[in-house]
């Protein structure tokens, strides 16, 4: 079934099974491999992308469900430049192995779009579903605070 939707600002038509998870549509169908497979059961957050502006687990969304929608992946977050969250991540050297980080960044960007000045507790609450086996949580929290500051100065 051909499904039309927008990915990173570009109109795409994908002819794949409608029940295919968005995660695999992105990685296998569109070669956007920045979005990672971790658990496949909505328990790790590695596959987080934005669907019409909201952070979603792309392993739990089907191709049929994104018909007509706007999807943004880590490749398109900054629209050709680095997003403030990505700049903050680099400044804080957040990543260790890096595997969870695109999901972390997408979750953080969605948080700041909704709440531009989150408290530490609000950051922890928003990010708690994104697991990091390397334990980068303190740096993630600091980077989200830095990104909020950068966005407030734009
Ligand atoms: S791969 Fe989707 S939440 Fe883990
Ligand atoms: S940086 Fe390694 S899993 Fe998060």
For residue 28, name the pLDDT band (cuts at 50, 70, 90). very high
Give the count of domains, the chain.
2
Domain membership of residue 63 as a residue range: 3-72
* pLDDT tens digit sequence for 92-124: 999 999 999 999 999 999 999 999 999 999 999
CA 25 – ligand 2 centroid, Å: 23
* Domain-embedded: residue 79: no
- Domain membership flag for residue 77: no
- The CATH number given to whatever domain includes residue 51 is 3.10.20.30
Q: Is the pTM of this model over 0.75?
A: yes
Among all bound ligands, the one having the nearest atom to the CA of 98 is 2
CA distance 38 to 150: 30
Q: Note whether 78 and 8 are within 8 A (CB).
A: no
- State if residue 59 touches ligand 1 by the CB under 6 angstroms criterion: yes
Q: Are residues 91 and 58 in the same domain?
A: no
Is 78 domain-assigned?
no
Distance 147 CA to ligand 1 centre (A): 24
> Is the domain of 146 the same as that of 92?
yes
With CA atoms as reference, report the closest residue to 43 among 122, 110, 103.
Answer: 103
Write the pLDDT tens digit of every residue in 64-92.
999 999 999 999 999 889 999 999 999 99
Ligand 1 atom with the smallest distance to the CA of 59 is 2
Q: Is 16 in the same domain as 63?
A: yes
Tens digits of residue pLDDT in 115-149: 999 999 999 999 999 999 999 999 999 999 999 99
């Amino acid at each position: 079934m051909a499904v039309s939707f927008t990915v990173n600002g570009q109109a795409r038509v994908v002819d794949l099974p409608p029940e295919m998870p968005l995660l695999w549509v992105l990685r296998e169908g569109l070669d956007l491999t920045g979005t990672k497979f971790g658990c496949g059961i909505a328990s790790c957050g590695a596959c987080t992308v934005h669907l019409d502006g909201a952070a979603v687990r792309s392993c739990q969304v089907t191709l049929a469900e994104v018909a007509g929608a706007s999807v943004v992946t880590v490749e398109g977050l900054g629209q050709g430049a680095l997003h403030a969250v990505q700049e903050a991540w680099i400044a804080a050297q957040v990543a260790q192995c890096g595997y969870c980080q695109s999901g972390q960044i997408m979750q953080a960007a969605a948080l700041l779009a909704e709440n531009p000045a989150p408290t530490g507790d609000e950051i922890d609450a928003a990010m708690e579903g994104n697991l990091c086996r390397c334990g980068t949580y303190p740096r993630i929290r600091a980077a989200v605070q830095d990104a909020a500051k950068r966005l407030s100065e734009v």
